[in-house]
Amino acid sequence: VLMNRTGWLTDETAAHHVSVIVVSTFLLGVVFLLGTLAYGLGCGFASQLALLLMPQFIGHSQNNLKDQPVSLFFALAMLGFLVAWRRRGLAYWVLAGGLGGVAYAVKINGIFVLPVAGLFMLPFILRDWRRLPLWLLRFALASAAYVVTVPLLWPYYRTHTLSRFVETVTAFRLHVFNEVVYYMGRHAPAREVPWHFPFVMFGITTPLVLLALALAGFGVLANLLARRRLDEAGPLLLFSVWLVVPIVTQVASGVPRCDGVRHYLYLLPALALLAGTGVVGLWRWADERRLGPRGVRAAVFALPALLLLRTLVVYHPYEVVFFNSLVGGPAGASRNFELDYWGTSLLEASRWIDANLPKGTRLWFTQPGFHRFKFRNGPYYFVGPGDRPNYKVSLLRGMVKTYDTDDDYLHPRRKIVHEIKVQGAPILQIFAMEENSDVPEGATLIPPAAVPTRVAPGLAATISVDNKPPEDMAPQERLFIACENNSYLDRSTELLASGYLHVTVPGPYLFELYSDDCATVWLGKDALISNVSTATTRRQVVLSAGYYPMRVKYRNEMGQACLAFRWQPPGAAFLSEVTSPALLHDAAAADKIAR
């Protein structure tokens, strides 16, 4: 709608993420309603403000296409159950269950909605066990609404709903998530991170003042329960069960522990509500004891909010990089934890590349996701490590250990040409790979003095298809693979050719290389021209008469296989294919190999 119909946005990635901002905004409203319904307007405002001032909430509020929506619908379901508990109408139970089904249809975390609601209600059921049939009816209606909602929103569930529910849970339970996570100073696959991963990550990525206020909320709950004021403690009990039960259940069950805080975002509203309740409890405690004038108390209570607001301003737009003082902030955390989960630094990196690197530069991004770069001055080309990148761009994340075959990303040997830091912590580094430079435009190349004793037409060549051992080909009298009508379509193919380029007329030569996927032509030790997939590269150099040792490497991974190598010699009016007798190989060496 925003991009294809109205034209309000032109960037596809941005258009997809507008929904996340909308969801996050609604979530703030839902938390306000929960807090207000629980303990009044002051609690609603304090809880909403607590969530708004959580760096991780802000950091994920634009990026997270799954966990932010499931947070909203999980919170809506909790609001529904709180209303149902307060007003007792059966329609509210149906609505609450349906909202829980929406949460599950977004992401499997919604599976915890009914258990959380049930554990929250358990003390009230035990207190009023004679009305057990009514409680069972309420939960039956909520569960039925939950089950009906899921197939309405998730087409796969429209037949065999219950069996597919078991299948989904089993698949998630046994899922092997192989991304490497850097946690507490060591690398491990995400499924092997220690059990304490979610507890530690919550503890070090949440501002200490909010953790302290959430503990105060737990204290208020303990005080109410000790005084047997169960009805008043009810909402706090819901918030506590909501925060604790999903993590404890996940850890105890041994399901994959994933790779970041984002998997637990649906618990942040519960933490904010506990903190908001803690604020109200502390205010009432101070008010009862008349600890200073109200204006002074209000200023004291406002100070943490102002400090948190300052933190958000200082970190923006890198709120997701926030770590608290328990680990020494981002600088201290960088020694033991991952920081820029979403690659929010890639926009700043894009601007640096635009300002400092020439068009046509080949870039290697050492993890999946190069679509997140946004260039204005390109084109710039993203290639793999084997396709002669000019620069390497590396986010400091554990998965880079898998994809960076060139270096140890934590202790790089290459010289850093640009680095992005937040609060003293490096989160992105750019390295020059000078060995992959092509000859500059207009360079003069000199052939070696030695000449081959006996030459024959064409380049000696080998080819490997479908990763099989290379096989010899007939001498290649032209470097040409038609895009259609060849046997390499959608097949992994590598062509290697070598020999000589025989130049008879000295002067400026214009070369053109087209390929799909990548190709490089060397003259002597110099890379004359490199081309990335589906592009066309031209380079003009000055050549002397003679025999230039020549090497060619061409690679296709998928899709069409195409190759064309052309030149425009001095005095020529147009480009033409480079063919024999300009392409030669050492016949004497070939005979020796054949014998």
Single-letter amino acid, residue 560: Q
As a whole number, the mean pLDDT across the chain is: 92
Q: Is the pLDDT of residue 371 over 90?
A: no
Rounded to the nearest 10 degrees, what angle do helices 12-39 and 268-288 cross at? 40
Say how many CA atoms lie within 13 Å of 115 toward its Cβ. Answer: 15
Q: How many CB atoms lie under 10 A from the CB of residue 159?
A: 9
The answer to whether residues 247 and 198 touch, using CB atoms and an 8 Å cutoff, is yes
Helices (H), 334-416: 346-356, 400-403
Residue with tokens 């507008």: 18
The answer to whether residues 227 and 67 touch, using CB atoms and an 8 Å cutoff, is no
Residue with tokens 């290459």: 414
pLDDT in tens, 199-222: 999 999 999 999 999 999 999 999
State mean pLDDT over 559-577. 95
Give, rounded to a whole angstrom, the gap between the first and last alpha carbons of the chain: 69
Selected residue with higher pLDDT from 443 and 486? 443
Quote the pLDDT of residue 10: 86
Q: Is the pLDDT of residue 451 over 90?
A: no
Selected residue with higher pLDDT from 370 and 563? 563
pLDDT in tens, 145-203: 999 999 999 989 988 888 999 999 888 888 877 789 999 999 998 888 899 999 999 99
Quote the pLDDT of residue 71: 96
pLDDT in tens, 234-288: 999 999 999 999 999 988 888 877 788 888 999 999 999 999 999 999 988 888 8
Quote the pLDDT of residue 499: 95
> How far is residue 43's CA from residue 45's CA, in Å, rounded to a whole number?
6
Quote the pLDDT of residue 589: 66
pLDDT in tens, 37-72: 999 999 999 999 999 999 999 999 988 889 999 999
Longest dimension (CA), the chain: 105
> How far is residue 340's CA from residue 370's CA, in Å, rounded to a whole number?
15
pLDDT in tens, 373-428: 989 888 999 999 989 999 999 999 999 998 998 999 999 999 999 999 999 999 99
Tokens of 228: 């047997």
Taking the CA atoms of residue 69, residue 75, residue 79 and residue 80 in that order, the dihedral angle to the nearest 10 degrees is 50
Min mean pLDDT across 12-16, 85-89, 194-198, 489-493 is at: 12-16
Residue (of 219, 325, 370) closest to 282 by Cα position = 219
Residue (of 264, 246, 277, 234) closest to 124 by Cα position = 234
> How far is residue 443's CA from residue 514's CA, in Å, rounded to a whole number?
21
pLDDT in tens, 109-119: 999 999 999 99
pLDDT in tens, 157-170: 988 888 999 999 88
Residue (of 369, 409, 338) closest to 193 by Cα position = 338
The answer to whether residues 379 and 359 touch, using CB atoms and an 8 Å cutoff, is yes
**Can you tell me whether residue 398 is helix, strand or coil?**
coil
pLDDT in tens, 289-309: 888 788 888 888 899 999 999
Q: How far from chain centre, in Å, is Cα 589?
A: 51
Single-letter amino acid, residue 445: L
How do beta strands 381-382 and 362-365 pair?
Answer: parallel
Q: How many CB atoms lie under 10 A from the CB of residue 430?
A: 20
Phi-psi region of 352 (alpha: psi -120 to 50; beta: other; left: phi over 0): alpha
Tokens of 563: 């190759």
Quote the pLDDT of residue 595: 53
